[in-house]
Structure formats: structure tokens, C-alpha cells
Amino acid sequence: MPMTDRYLSVVARGLHEIEIRRSRFLCALAPAGEEATAREVIAARRRAEPAARHHCHAFVLGPDGRTQRSSDDGEPAGTAGVPMLEVLRRRAVTDTVAVVSRHFGGVLLGAGGLIRAYGQAVSEALDAVGVVEYRRLRLFDIEVDYTRSGRLENDLRASPYALHETRFEAAAHFEVGVPPDEEPRFTAWLADTTGGTAEAVGLGEKWIRGGG
């Protein structure tokens, strides 16, 4: 699958509830970077809602979304897990697990009603919890004398580059994220901004949340 430079994931764990014809659908969302983490979230929701009749789930993992799983957990086949997964895919959200716990209200919804309910639960939960963008950036450590550090920090914050971390040791250090294809432009920008007094040491690539 093609390498991606950015992806969306949920901001944090969250819970959102909707009610449809007396059935309660509680959708829990959580970040999950690997399948074991997603399975732990699913198990935790089963423990948290023991009275729920179904704990349907879907998750998408990996920056390219290559791992996708879903379960109807006893609902009619294709009426719960698949529509939940489709919402995550349509919204381009990955490294995310969704678990919908259903408390049956006594009224049968039918296949179409279930598909709409489970999809709606995940969609509304995503809106309520929120998503954040992660970018694949090349990290550089810039070391600069303290006499120049304040000016450089201001310039970095005003630049298109992601100021990821600052450290103040014997000298000031700024960890900066740069899109992989913009390294030559960044090197030239840094030389121009600091009069050639600062050097950037490459630290490799990393996924950086929300621009730094």
C-alpha cells in the first residue's frame, strides 16, 4: 500500500450516547496503535456495561489503514460492525477503535434501522470527541547559542515548520519537524535565519500530532 504522510485519529478516549426507539447505543472511541490495544478497549467496555445485550466494534489501524476489523457481536450479520467500520473509513480515521454497547429497549429496529443506528452512533461520537491530524515529519535538532535562541524560537513559531520540543542545556536546542520533501528548503531557511550559526542534526522520521 502507498506510504502516507498524514492521517487522522481521535483526539482522546470519549463516550457518546444516542437513543433510538428506547434502545440506548453507547459509543466508546479510543486511540489504538495496535490490535492488542484495541482488544483491551473492547474488553474494558464489556466490563463497564455488563447489562448491554451487544458490544459491537470496529477498528482501523496503521497510518495507511491496512488493518480493519469489525464484529456484529450477535446482531444480525452486517448490521452493526460493518456500518461502524464504514463510518471510520469514510471519515478517514485510523489508529482508532469504536465500541457500541447496545441496551435493548424492547422495540425491534429491523436490519435497516440497526445499520443506521450503529453508523449514527459512531458518526456522532466522532463529532463529539473530535479528531486530530498526525503528520510524518523528519525531525532535526537545532543547537544555538542562548544569545540567538529567543529570536530563533520566534522565527520557528512563525515558520511553516513544526516546533516539536525545546530543551535548554549548555545551549538551546529546538527539535523541529520538516516534511520529508522540504528538507533542502528548510536547510536554506535555517542558514539564512541564523546567519549560518546553527546546524541541524537529523534525528530520523516521526509521526507528529497536530503540527507539533
Give pLDDT, residue 157: 87
Low-confidence ranges of the chain (pLDDT < 50): 1-2, 211-212
Give pLDDT, residue 211: 46
Give pLDDT, residue 2: 41
Domain with CATH 3.30.230.30 in the chain: 6-129
Give pLDDT, residue 193: 86
Entry pTM: 0.75
**Fold designation for 6-129:** Ribosomal Protein S5; domain 2 (3.30.230)
* 3-class DSSP state of 72: coil
C-alpha 126: how far from chain center? 11
CB 141 within 8 A of CB 174: yes
Give pLDDT, residue 150: 81
Domain with CATH 3.30.70.240 in the chain: 135-209
**Fold designation for 135-209:** Alpha-Beta Plaits (3.30.70)
- Number of other CB atoms surrounding residue 201 within 10 Å: 10
Distances in whole angstroms, Cα of residue 99 to Cα of each of 9, 16, 44, 95, 163: 15, 11, 10, 14, 35
Residue 62 backbone zone (phi > 0: left; psi -120 to 50: alpha; other: beta): left
Backbone phi and psi for residue 9, each to the nearest 5 degrees, phi listed first: -145, 165
- In the chain, the amino acid numbered 47 is R
